Structure 1
């Protein structure tokens, strides 16, 4: 029993080391890997090569599958090049299995020792995260040694020999057993290494070992499909296509396992190395042959998993992929895109309100209420998504970005509420009684609306790019809007003094609308001060008219602001 526990703990250590390497690489180079994958979709050979490279870095084809599935789910990548990347990921996994089986025992203590020093001393820096990667690599090498050491006593036990003696004839049963190994250990690499150890100890024959390797590859495909179960149909098609490619390879190769075992057995290398070499050869040949078939496979997966019709209710987040939460740069980029979507909905609400003021379709009021519900739903989704991020691993820049996203989403949610209240005022006051604004009054509201939408566009640009010059432009635009609002308010009072009937009838509504627009403008322009207050921004000049930064800006409370 103790020997079995040692083996299981060694496998667990291997999985944990792989997880540490994956998260460390993604936190340091996540954006670059994302850019590499997104730019390699034009040519299948390039996509194939990028899948090999990325998987070799992150030490896991499942991690590559999660990245690629999120791209396809968000509409950033077509399915065919995504399948080409997944084929490259399978080859990358087999290649790293060969590299990690070399005698690197001397490297493990060095990687762990220096990795711990760098990680604990500079945790929030890139060097600290690279130290985390070193720890993970050291643990992987150590775990491989422990697996070999723990498996040796097991292979000599009579019960184990009896158990594996059943795997001597049925290639399908052997393959299913290998798939089960991979799924239980949550790693095809661990299953392949255990198979190589059993074959080297003569517990199983080479033929059985090859069947177990083929099955382990199939099990990794099942794992990827299960991991993508929470994604939309577009994201699940990536894992489905990869699994179907592996299933096809399994069906074609299993009948030839006997002749292949006889051929490979003549190679002048050890039995364990024969198993690892077959793993690399099998994946390389299978993936190369499947590469031209990615387009037909994509069509077949589209037919098997069609898009579900979206219900006509509140908006659902499109970019908040839970798989990216372990990679802060990717998760923050997802939240930024969803926040920009909130900004687009606010603009649509403003435009619908203006059409309604001009005598447009009264049904636009229902659209405004529905759009405000969309903003509330997206705000809640972004807030909860950011709350799930591991903030203790965020660097200073990512922490500021986290706070900026929270701040802007709060402001946009408040803006939606203000616009909805403006609609209620329009419907319940003078306009509901058939009264209309004077030509001058309507022109003033239109001018303020146009300036407000322009400031919203500029604010979203500043939020996205953090450009200092545009932030200064936005700050000046805020002051111009205030001057314009005061001038229009004085002009309205002048019309009241001149006894303009339309101005008298709509006075309360007119002044209320321009006051609400002023508040909306302040909410939109607040992002300028976040950029100008950034200590990394050069020449940031304090604005004597700028409001003080809210106390929750850098440490916002995750909860309702109402």
Structure 2
């Protein structure tokens, strides 16, 4: 019974430790998530900066796994190339050692104060950065408390025969010890927690230095497995280059570490600290050596990964860019022309999506809804590709005219993506609701909606031609279309109100639903005007600052 209580208590404090780490990670990511990602993407221009960025971010969020997944996402979006990404991962691995170094001094006395401050911030502030930082303080306090309890639990286990036998068996089988620590770190998603436990084992004499260092090597290997399993879920092998490359550095480092392990205890003892600090120092020195060995070799290592994991693309995939030629980046005029051609593809996809939406609304076609949703998601992906392509051009080589053209392309692409988003969440959502409720529009509403959607498709064609021609009169005509859609919604609202006044309560729900459809149709048209007409009119100085009339 005593053994069962010990096992339950040990498991509970391990869970509390992992939950504390989770709260710190989520608190920091919620507080600085977007800004942290933007700063991280911009700060990786060179190998030393990428290394330092990975180190600092990991030290802040206390998870090299989360950092690895973030960097892998940047690499897939084209914001970070493979070589700086690998350098950032080496820095992330060193960043975890700094956390362990801080925890090796046992700052348990800070735990109650951190929890007190964190709870006060969490309870007294509205959702925002301050409240999220309070969450991080609570997690850090729980982490320190759980570590202190785990350390105290190991004291009566010094004489436990079962634990001693198990650790002795692991000491005689270094490969098994390495694999066991790897599996534990992979399951816990935290090398910090595992290394701190190893420090506790070493401090109480339950693990000799050689076994402790072997377990540390396993923790370093296990933390590189999660980014491989959780990143790159598509069929493109190139999406797994960065996490696989990081795992490769860990495997090679562990093999070298196992070969040099017999000399490690003497080296750590020469540093003159106790066994627990020896574990933390070994963890730090191992990652520094791996980083120092691989930093000069990252470029040939990246070329090897590119050969082993080649880029694979489906030529029939509509989400695959067709005109964004990487070799055209050196000539800005050519690159901008390619981006403009890709942006025009969005109008073709949006036209097909709107035609399917029209069929779903007027003919109750359930299959058209699924196809239209897919096309809208493709438009979003292509817009992201265009934005990334333009954002990574050399800004210093652009002339003022090129900069203006770049902004026009970005505006056109983003507004087309917004139009697809309104169509997907609004019009397609209304089509699904119409299908589920078994509602039916009357003949007048169907005729009016059909005419409105036809007009919307015509405006889309005008927007596409206007993006190419920049014709002033066409831009004015397209801009005046917003007035048509406003008047249409106003008339429909008046008609709906009159029907209710005459006692036709049975059509109230359908009438309100129809107004929502017209409102979202006008929203799609507004984005078309923003995409093509307003930039041309602004260039000619024909836009007012606002719609308010001047007063004395």
Structure 2 residue 287 is matched with structure 1 residue 283: yes
Deviation at 1:278, TM superposition (A): 0.9
Contact residue 456 and residue 524 of structure 1 kept, 8 A: no
Describe the SS at the equivalent of 2:170: coil
Deviation at 1:133, TM superposition (A): 1.4
Contact residue 25 and residue 57 of structure 1 kept, 8 A: yes
Picking from 383, 393, 409, the partner of 2:421 is 409
2:200 and 2:295 map into 1 onto residues whose CA distance is 32
Describe the SS at the equivalent of 1:168: helix
Decide which moves more: 201-210 or 518-527: 518-527
Instruction: String of CA shifts for 1:3-45, please: whole Å, max 9, x gaps.
Output: 2222222222222112111122112212222122212332101
Structure 2 residue 201 is matched with structure 1 residue 198: yes
2:267 maps to which residue? Answer: 263
Contact residue 50 and residue 88 of structure 1 kept, 8 A: yes
Change in 2 beyond 3 A, CA 1:234/1:11: farther
2:15 maps to which residue? Answer: 12
1:446 and 1:210 map into 2 onto residues whose CA distance is 67
Change in 2 beyond 3 A, CA 1:445/1:181: closer
1:230 and 1:445 map into 2 onto residues whose CA distance is 37
Describe the SS at the equivalent of 2:34: helix
Contact residue 342 and residue 375 of structure 1 kept, 8 A: no
1:519 and 1:4 map into 2 onto residues whose CA distance is 59
Describe the SS at the equivalent of 2:306: helix
**Structure 1, unaligned stretches of length 5 or more?**
318-339, 354-370, 384-404, 418-443, 458-474, 486-517, 530-538, 545-562
Picking from 454, 463, 473, the partner of 1:452 is 463
1:525 maps to which residue? Answer: 526
Picking from 122, 126, 141, the partner of 2:144 is 141
As a proportion of its length, which structure holds more helix? 2
Instruction: String of CA shifts for 1:471-516, please: whole Å, max 9, x gaps.
Output: xxxx99865236799xxxxxxxxxxxxxxxxxxxxxxxxxxxxxxx
Structure 2 residue 134 is matched with structure 1 residue 131: yes
2:113 and 2:341 map into 1 onto residues whose CA distance is 47
1:98 maps to which residue? Answer: 101
Picking from 376, 381, 389, the partner of 2:373 is 376
Query: What's the TM-score once normalised by structure 2's chain length?
Result: 0.64
**Structure 2, unaligned stretches of length 5 or more?**
322-339, 354-367, 381-416, 430-454, 469-474, 486-518, 531-543
1:187 maps to which residue? Answer: 190
Structure 2 residue 239 is matched with structure 1 residue 235: yes
1:22 maps to which residue? Answer: 25
1:451 and 1:165 map into 2 onto residues whose CA distance is 78
Structure 2 residue 44 is matched with structure 1 residue 41: yes
Contact residue 349 and residue 379 of structure 2 kept, 8 A: no
Change in 2 beyond 3 A, CA 1:248/1:410: same
2:391 maps to which residue? Answer: none
RMSD: 4.3
Contact residue 375 and residue 413 of structure 1 kept, 8 A: no
1:348 maps to which residue? Answer: 348
Contact residue 21 and residue 62 of structure 2 kept, 8 A: yes
2:425 and 2:173 map into 1 onto residues whose CA distance is 62
Describe the SS at the equivalent of 1:31: helix
2:540 maps to which residue? Answer: none
Contact residue 18 and residue 190 of structure 2 kept, 8 A: yes
1:409 and 1:350 map into 2 onto residues whose CA distance is 10
Contact residue 115 and residue 137 of structure 2 kept, 8 A: yes
1:159 maps to which residue? Answer: 162
Describe the SS at the equivalent of 2:75: helix
Change in 2 beyond 3 A, CA 1:240/1:5: same
Residues matched between the structures, number? 403
Instruction: String of CA shifts for 1:268-288, please: whole Å, max 9, x gaps.
Output: 211111111111111112112
